[in-house]
Structure 1
Amino acid sequence: MNRFNWTYIDHKNERHHVGLMHGAQSGNLLVYCNTDILIIDFQVLHSHTYSFFIEEEFCELSIEKTADEQYLYSFDLNTEADTPLNRYRKKLSKKHLWQSLAFLAGFLILVFSLTISFTYWNKYNNQHQFAYGNGIQGRETIAQISIDPESEGKLVSYYFVANGKSYRANTKFKENATPFFKHGMPLIAGDEFVVKYAIDDPTINEIDYNRPSRKQISTYRNRAIERHLAFHPELDLDYCSCVADIAFKMKGINGLADLYFQRVSEEENPKHNINSYKRLVRSPKFTQRVEEKCWAQ
C-alpha cells in the first residue's frame, strides 16, 4: 500500500492535510483531506488525474505509472481553471501589476527629478561661484544682443563665440521692456557687451550690461547724435556731434542717454528724461564748452 501526505495552506492561511492511500496491486484508491474523504476509486492501475475542491481552491492529484511499474504521485493547485477564486487572483494580480508599474514609474520620475535637480543645482552653484569669482577660472569676450522676432514677446538673448563654438543664452528681458542700466541706454538688437564665461564650460557665463564694447560706445554716440538731430533739425550734423562728444566727456554714456531721452518724461524714465537733459545743456560748464568748441566749427 502506497501512502503519501501533503500539507496545503490556503489563501486564508488555514492548513489542510491531504492524504493518499493506493494499492499498487489492487489499484484501490482513497484520497482524503483532514477527516473528509474526497475520492474512492478502484482498479487504478494506470496514469490518471483527479480534480476536486478544497474550500474554494481547485486542486489536482495526479498518479503517473512509470515504465518499471512504479507510481509517482503529485498534488497541485490549478490556478488557471475558471473558478471564482482564480478570477479573483487574476484581478488582484493585475492590480498588483499596475501598483508595481505605478511604483516603478514614480521611482523613475523621482530619480529623474533628483538627477535634473542635482544637475541644475550643480550648474547654478557653479554659476553662482563663477559670478562671485569663487575659484572658477573665467575668460572674457564680446557678446552680441539678439532679439528673436518669432518668440512670444520677442525675447532678448545674447550669443558669443568661445573655443571656436557659438553659445547662446536667454535673458529675462523682452524687447521694448528692457531695463535701463547704469549707463542709461536701452537694449537694442546688435548691441555688444563684455561676457565672462567659464573656460571649462562656456554654458556657465554672465554678461555685463554695464561694460559695452568700444564699438558699442561708438554706437551709443551715433544714436544720441541721430536723436538730437531729429529733435533739432535746424542744427547740422557737425554741431550735434560736437554736443554729443561734450556730453560724453562730462558724464560718460549717461550724458549720451540724456541726449537720447531728451523728450521722455520722468514717469517713463526717472533717470534720463527731459529734465535731466535740461540740467545738462543749461549747466554753465556744458554751455561754456559748447560755445568754445561747437560754435567755432
Structure 2
Amino acid sequence: MAQYRWSYTSLQGKRYIVGLFHGPKTGHLMIYVNSKIVQIDFKVFEEKVYSFFLEEDLCEITIKKDNGSYGYDFQINKEVDTPLNRKRKAFNKVNRNRIITMFVGLGVFLAVIITFGISQKRKKEREKERYLQEMLAKKTVSATATIDSVKWSGDQASFYFKFYEGDIQRARIELIDKAAVDLYTQGLPVLKGDEFMMTYYTYNDSTSLKLNEPTNLQLANFMYRAFEQEQKSQSHLSEEELRCRVKCAFRVSGISGLADVYFQAETRESNPWHNRLTYNKLVRDIPFQEAFNEYCLPQ
C-alpha cells in the first residue's frame, strides 16, 4: 500500500500533516489531516483529484497514473474562485502595481542619472579636446615643405625636405609607406623642388608632411608633367588644346585624372591603376567631354 505525507502551514501559522493511503491492487484510498480522516474512496484505479479545505485554503491531492505506476501530488489551488484567493489576487494586483510603479520610477531615475552622467562625460571630453586643440594650436606651425630628394628602401620612402619656421630654415627627413605615397600622389613622380603643406610641432620638434595637400605650385608641377606626356602621345594636337585637355582631366578627376594622363602609355600589367585603358575611359566619358566642350572649344 502506498503511503505519502505532506506538511502544510496555514496563513495563521498552524501546521498540518496531510497523509494518504492508497492500495494499487484494491483501489482503496484514504486521506487524513493530522489524525482526522477527511476522505475515503474505493476502486481508485485511474487518475483523480481530491479537494478539501484547510482553514481557507482549497487543498488538492492529485493521483496520476503512468504505465501502471501511481504518483501523488499535494498542492494549494490558488486559481479557483474562493474568498481567500480573491483576497490573494487583490493583494497581488496592488503589489504588482506598486512594483511596476517602483520599477518605472527607478528606471526613470536611472535614465536621468545615466543621461546626466553621459552628458557630463561628453562635456568633459569636449572641454579636454578643446583644451588640447588650443594647446596644439599654440605649439604647431603650418608651413610649406620643399622637397630636396626622395629615396626608396623597400616599401618605404624617405622624404628629405626643408621648410621655414619664421626666418629659420629647418631640414627634416620623414618616412612614408609606399601605400600612402601612391594614395596621395597616385603614382605621379615627386621631384626636387616640389612643394607640399606640412605641420611643424614645436613642442616636440616633429613634423608631418602632407602629401595629400599639394600647394598651388605643386599642382602646376603635376599638370605640367601630365602635359609633357600628353604632348608626346597626342602630338597632332595644338599646345593650347593639350593644356586644356590636361586641365579638363584635373577638373573631372583631380590628381587621379592627371595620373591617367601621365601614365597613358602604360599597360594594365605594368600599372593596374593608371594606364592606356583608364586614360581612354577618362577622355571618352561624358564629364570630360562636357568639360572639353565648355572650356576648350571656341564659343
TM-score normalised by length of structure 1: 0.48
TM-score (normalised: structure 2): 0.47
Identify the structure with the greater helix proportion: 2
